[in-house]
Amino acid sequence: MTNDLVPAPVIVAEDLQLTFAQGKRMTRAMDHVSFTVERGTTLALVGQSGSGKTTTARTILGLQRPDSGVVRVCGQEVHALKPAELQKLRRRMQVVLQDPFGQLNRRHTVQRIIEGPMVAHGYLDAPGRKQRATDLADAVGLTLAQLGRKPQELSGGQCQRVAIARALAVNPEVVVLDEAVSALDVSVRAQILNLLSQLQRDIGLTYLFITHDLAVARYMSHNIAVMNAGRIVEYAPREQLFADPQDPYTRALLAAIPQGIHRKGLADV
Ligand SMILES: Nc1ncnc2c1ncn2[C@@H]1O[C@H](COP(=O)(O)OP(=O)(O)OP(=O)(O)O)[C@@H](O)[C@H]1O
Ligand SMILES: [Mg+2]
């Protein structure tokens, strides 16, 4: 584990509020959003399109300032940090997005893409970076030949592996994954989810895992927060949420899961 001195939990969101104003239209993207994520665990944030998941993720990452409320990551208050301090914290919290191609620079090779955060954060020397990129590529199941290719020469699943390798390059403690497997077909999705679980077990990563898909949330998470219209309507340990959902919106989401997946659970997503 990278830093035993940091007190758990690793992510704290306290009473986040944010309203977007577009002309006369006001959207409450976050309405009293609070949760915590303990080190080495996964909080799945689920909810339908427009419920405020990405806004919450961006706020945790320090990319979006809330109207009010506090975010702490690794013990630091994200929105109170100076830019240089936030940049330092960014090394410890990385992000993987939904779009396998859009998040990677098409002009760069996979090798260079994975080395990108190491260069940006002054992590290791040039030979060290090269070696680490190779090791990471291997860890996420990319071949040496693929290291020399560009994103458009890879499949969606391979690009997502590149994005994960890049996110891990600077040895983060927290990874925010926003619909990171949604664009992938079922078999590739299962491989990537297994890979993420394996990495969590191996290096104690903490995940904020955003998905609209409760079956995926069930496979990945320790705790689940259900968002609807900017509010967390239910927040419970995974098994409790599936066994005894309290909120009508959660029940509706559960009812929408194909029965086979719902019943079979973990191994079969
Ligand atoms: N920059 C912005 N300006 C105005 N409104 C915004 C902005 N960003 C998000 N919103 C609105 O805030 C609400 C929450 O959006 P958000 O992107 O967080 O939802 P989401 O749960 O991630 O949805 P999806 O599953 O489609 O990705 C939506 O109604 C959206 O239109
Ligand atoms: Mg989103």
User: Given this model, what pLDDT does residue 269 score?
Assistant: 42
Q: What is the largest CA-CA distance in the chain?
A: 55
User: Given this model, what pLDDT does residue 98 score?
Assistant: 81
Instruction: Give the model confidence (pLDDT) of 183-200 as tens digits.
Output: 777 887 888 899 899 889
Instruction: Give the model confidence (pLDDT) of 126-184 as tens digits.
Output: 999 999 999 989 888 899 999 999 999 999 889 989 999 999 999 899 999 999 888 77
Which residue's C-alpha comes closest to atom 29 of ligand 1? 50
Instruction: Give the model confidence (pLDDT) of 226-245 as tens digits.
Output: 999 999 999 999 999 999 99
User: Given this model, what pLDDT does residue 256 score?
Assistant: 81
**Rounded to the nearest whole angstrom, what is the distance from the C-alpha of residue 131 to the centroid of ligand 2?**
34
Ligand 1 atom closest to the Cα of residue 212 is: 25
**pLDDT at position 56 over 90:** yes
Residues with CB under 5 A from ligand 2 (ion): 54
Q: Give the ligand whose atoms come closest to the C-alpha of residue 23.
A: 1
Which residue's C-alpha comes closest to atom 17 of ligand 1? 54
| Whether residue 51 has its Cβ less than 6 Å from ligand 1 | yes
Burial 96-128 (b: 16+ CB within 10 A, else e): bbbbbeebbeeeebbbbbbbbbbeebebbeeee
| Whether residue 103 has its Cβ less than 6 Å from ligand 1 | no
Which residue's C-alpha comes closest to atom 1 of ligand 1? 20
Alpha carbon distance 142, 240 (integer Å): 37
User: Given this model, what pLDDT does residue 181 score?
Assistant: 86
Instruction: Give the model confidence (pLDDT) of 4-18 as tens digits.
Output: 555 569 999 999 999
User: Given this model, what pLDDT does residue 7 score?
Assistant: 52
User: Given this model, what pLDDT does residue 268 score?
Assistant: 42
Instruction: Give the model confidence (pLDDT) of 202-220 as tens digits.
Output: 889 999 999 988 889 999 9
Instruction: DSSP letter for 208, please.
Output: E
| Whether residue 64 has its Cβ less than 6 Å from ligand 1 | no
Alpha carbon distance 252, 237 (integer Å): 18
Which residue's C-alpha comes closest to atom 2 of ligand 1? 20
Which residue's C-alpha comes closest to atom 24 of ligand 1? 49
Instruction: Give the model confidence (pLDDT) of 60-78 as tens digits.
Output: 999 999 999 999 999 999 9
Instruction: Give the model confidence (pLDDT) of 90-130 as tens digits.
Output: 999 999 988 777 889 999 999 999 999 999 999 999 999 99
User: Given this model, what pLDDT does residue 186 score?
Assistant: 82
Burial 35-56 (b: 16+ CB within 10 A, else e): bbbebbbbbbbbbeeebbbbbb
From-to residues of CATH 3.40.50.300 in the chain: 1-92+173-185+203-264
| Whether residue 27 has its Cβ less than 6 Å from ligand 1 | yes
**Rounded to the nearest whole angstrom, what is the distance from the C-alpha of residue 138 to the centroid of ligand 1?**
36
**Whether residue 9 has a cis bond before it, omega within 30° of 0:** yes
| Whether residue 54 has its Cβ less than 6 Å from ligand 1 | yes
Assigned CATH for 1-92+173-185+203-264 = 3.40.50.300
**pLDDT at position 263 over 50:** no
Burial class (CB in 10 A: 0-12, 13-18, 19+), 136: buried
- Which residues face 38 on adjacent strands? none
| Whether residue 158 has its Cβ less than 6 Å from ligand 1 | no
What length does the chain have?
269
Q: How confident is the model at residue 259 (pLDDT cuts 50, 70, 90)?
A: low
What are the helix (H) ranges across 169-255?
186-203, 214-220, 238-243, 248-255
Contact 75, 7 (CB under 8 A): yes
Which residue's C-alpha comes closest to atom 18 of ligand 1? 52
| Whether residue 49 has its Cβ less than 6 Å from ligand 1 | yes
Ligand 1 atom closest to the Cα of residue 58 is: 18
User: Given this model, what pLDDT does residue 257 score?
Assistant: 77
Ligand 1 mutation target, pool 49, 55, 227, most atoms within 8 A of CB: 55
| Whether residue 22 has its Cβ less than 6 Å from ligand 1 | yes
